[in-house]
Amino acid sequence: MKKVLSTVVALGCCLYLPSAVLAGGGKKVSDDMSREMSDLRAQLAKQQAEIDMLKGQKSDPTLATRLDALEKKKGYVMAGNAFIDGVTLTGDLRERFQTKSYNFYNDSDASQDGFSTRFRLGGVWQNKAENWTIGAGIATNIASANRSPEDAWGGVNEFDHSEINLDYAYAKHTFGDYAVILGQSPVPYTWSWIFWDSDLRPQGATVAYGKETGIFAVAGAYGAKVTNIDKGDLVDDVYGENTGLAYIGQVGYKDKFSEKGKYTLAAGYHMVDQAYMNEIARSTSDLGGYSVEVGDLYGDVSFPVGPVDLKLYGQGWLNFAADSDKGVTQSAIMGLGEDAEGNDMGWSLGLSGKMDQVRFAYSYSVVEADSIYGGYVDIANAVAGTTNVQGHKAGVGYDVTKNWALDFTYYNFENIEDAGVTKLTTVEDVQTYQFDVTYKF
């Protein structure tokens, strides 16, 4: 660059000098040449400074590493904070047609059908130097429902717009094989599909331990709902609020028994505290402290059978706190009498498999009325309620491409015991058909 500019200066002098002499005045020529030389030197210094700055940036290993990651890593977005390594974004869009058929105890029937959209987008921000991660996601849903991300077409007005709400947001600190999660996160426990609705995100604090194989453990305390027990007292009704808590723990072991075969065994316990259950009962009296305390056992095994990758799983549970003498039970709310102790068990058995682009699944589940808190159970199986139900779930899917899939799911659930006197328990059985088109990105 210096050689080029020196040549330019020399040529400029050669062209300028004759014209200046013809115009007359040697002193004037000298002054003009001095000014031109000064300007050219200033331009040279400025350009050399820019070159030095660019060379310094190129030699910065941190910048080079980040640029390489930006080019090579799919889904990588550069973050503004130099301490954040990057953002990984994932999401999906699902369009669904669903139809439900209801049969009532009075031999009448009804059906409902409609279309819905589910859109989800989530991101993970990693700080590897400090071993923490921020995760957050948004999804379509109706804020008042706070559960299903399905947004019904024309649910309020003609061609109305979908609502987008915060689905989860959490911070995760990692210390070797240990992790601490603060906030609202996807479910960190290993359960069957019906035991806990996958759309529910526990909100609180979670501590976890585990490796790819071997022993793992997860425990957490979660603020499920602000409760208010209506006792007919103005002060208690207005100011008598408390946070209903859920406590969950699980310990297990996972390993491989062959190149493609693996298994998981786990034992868990969770409790829904008295304040939470008392408000759900909507009683105007002191309920005496009824709670839900569930112990469960879970196991699964995966292995290939010829061209099919197969998975078998099972889970059983028991509510140790089911006691009709301690207050209004879920059995009583459903009009099934006061026999909570006789409705305190549940189980689910199932299988799933994949062969090339074809997927399939089947399960049979029994959820007695007081075996588990109904607010956490997958609502897709709901008949008169989310508990006191038993039935089948079956599905088949086809992966058109890696990120585009077609699915059909069928539910057939009925009440275990005949319904009571309340309005909500007049449904005898429900059949649900779902047709899905899903795109992942």
Instruction: List, in order, residues 6 or more apart from 391 with CB less than 8 Å away.
Output: 364, 365, 381, 411, 412, 413, 414, 429
Tell me the pTM: 0.75
Which CATH code is given to the segment(s) 90-440?
2.40.160.10
Q: If you average pLDDT over residues 12-17, what whole number do you get? A: 44
Instruction: List, in order, residues 6 or more apart from 118 with CB less than 8 Å away.
Output: 92, 93, 94, 96, 139, 140, 149, 150, 151
C-alpha–C-alpha distance, residues 366 and 244, integer Å: 27
Helices (H), 24-85: 26-58, 61-72
Phi-psi category of residue 24: left, alpha or beta, with phi > 0 → left and psi -120 to 50 → alpha: left
CA 403 to chain centre: 18
DSSP calls for 164-190: EEEEEEEEEEEETTEEEEEEE-S--S-
Residue among 418, 425, 406 nearest 358 (CA) = 406
C-alpha–C-alpha distance, residues 423 and 426, integer Å: 6
CA-to-CA separations, 50 to 1, 55, 395, in angstroms, rounded: 12, 9, 63
Residue among 372, 362, 375, 367 nearest 408 (CA) = 362
The residue extents of the domains of the chain are 2-59, 90-440
282 vs 413: which has the higher pLDDT: 413
Predicted local confidence at residue 421, as pLDDT: 52
pLDDT, tens digit (0-9, with 9 covering 90-100), for 206-241 = 999 999 999 999 999 998 777 665 555 444 555 556
107: helix, strand or coil: coil
pLDDT, tens digit (0-9, with 9 covering 90-100), for 354-384 = 999 999 999 999 999 889 988 888 877 677 6
C-beta neighbour count of 413 within 10 angstroms? 24
pLDDT, tens digit (0-9, with 9 covering 90-100), for 311-340 = 999 999 999 988 766 656 677 666 666 577
* Amino acid letter, residue 160: D
Average pLDDT, the chain: 80
Predicted local confidence at residue 158, as pLDDT: 86
Task: Determine the Cα angle at 70 with ends 67 and 71, to 5°.
Answer: 90
pLDDT, tens digit (0-9, with 9 covering 90-100), for 196-207 = 988 889 999 999
Among 9-18, 31-40, 181-190, 379-388, the range scoring the smallest mean pLDDT is 9-18
Res 258 pLDDT > 80: yes
275 vs 139: which has the higher pLDDT: 139
Q: If you average pLDDT over residues 265-279, what whole number do you get? A: 79
